[in-house]
Structure 1
């Protein structure tokens, strides 16, 4: 009986751990106000970058600007999709759309004013980047930004694509 219990416990634990490997079931709004279930985000089997930022975070903005400069090349070569998640609180949320527009960012931008996704993923500091493989598994995490760090991120993306 004990062996069966341990086996069932082991299977249950592995199922729970596997389920937590992807994005959690959290609903956010995009900058157009449409609701998005984060757990259902996909990219046709290609990698996804999730970048947490705030309008007031200078390193975050430098990182997203640096990626923007090479993003079309990244997409062409690997099909990667970047989703930027603003953690600006409700009183500053109106600054996100102008920032995105001013910089010409073509990323999908989600708003996390209550830190629901941030908390669910255990994000402490920003900028914070997650890389998901084509199956939605989180395969890389990084916080902070130094000039040129986007190239290391791109090497990780390419390795997922076998390039």
Structure 2
């Protein structure tokens, strides 16, 4: 039985990396519900980063992304989406938190964890790079200073093809 479960988990993970984003409802900071299957960037790369207000490495990562975002966007056309995994008890803190930092990318709330589960995210920060065809081509967990340069290199790889 364990073997079957392990094989199923591996196949599910492999299929996730070869498919478009799963369907789950998240909220804009304004409260409007949006389905994640509609996340796209007109044939250009998309970065989806899962984070939480209580996660210091998450905030460092998103601050670093924000520092480079406009340059990356000009060079590659990338769009960054940050998905907060704060639950309903703490999600009210997200908008003031984001506004205080001046992040220039879109931020969504995944209060019930539906999108997080669908993407097999166990820990934050967890970042996905999706190519212009909607396929997940790279993912990264955790954050140390400089990891944003690896993401940038991957962005260049998929936009130069």
Partner residue, 1:3? none
Structure (1 or 2) with the larger CA radius of gyration: 1
What runs of 5+ residues in structure 2 fail to find an aligned partner?
Answer: 1-10
| Equivalent residues, number | 148
CA contact (8 A) 2:17 2:135 kept: no
Distance apart, 1:27 and its partner CA: 1.3
TM-score (norm 1): 0.87
SS in 2 for 1:50: strand
Residue of structure 2 equivalent to 1:86: 84
Runs of at least 4 residues of structure 1 off by over 4 A?
Answer: 17-20
Hey, what's the Cα distance between the residues in 1 that align with 2:37 and 2:91?
22
What's the counterpart of residue 110 of structure 1?
A: 108
Alpha-carbon distance, 1:55 to partner = 0.3
C-alpha separation in 1, matches of 2:47 and 2:23? 17
Q: Which moved more, 1:18-27 or 1:91-100?
A: 18-27
State which of 46, 49, 52 in structure 1 corresponds to 2:47: 49
Residues 132-163 of structure 1: per-residue CA shift (max 9 Å, x gap): 00011001011000001000001001111007
Output aligned runs, 1:60-75, within 5 Å: 60-75=58-73
Structure 1 unaligned spans of 5+: 1-12
Deviation at 1:128, TM superposition (A): 0.2
Q: Distance in 2 between matches of 1:160 and 1:60?
A: 24
**Distance apart, 1:114 and its partner CA:** 0.8
TM-score by length of 2: 0.88
1:35, distance to aligned residue in structure 2 (A): 1.4
1:144 maps to 142
Measured after TM superposition, the shift of residue 36 of structure 1 is: 1.0
Partner of 1:7: none
Where does residue 76 of structure 1 map in the other structure? 74
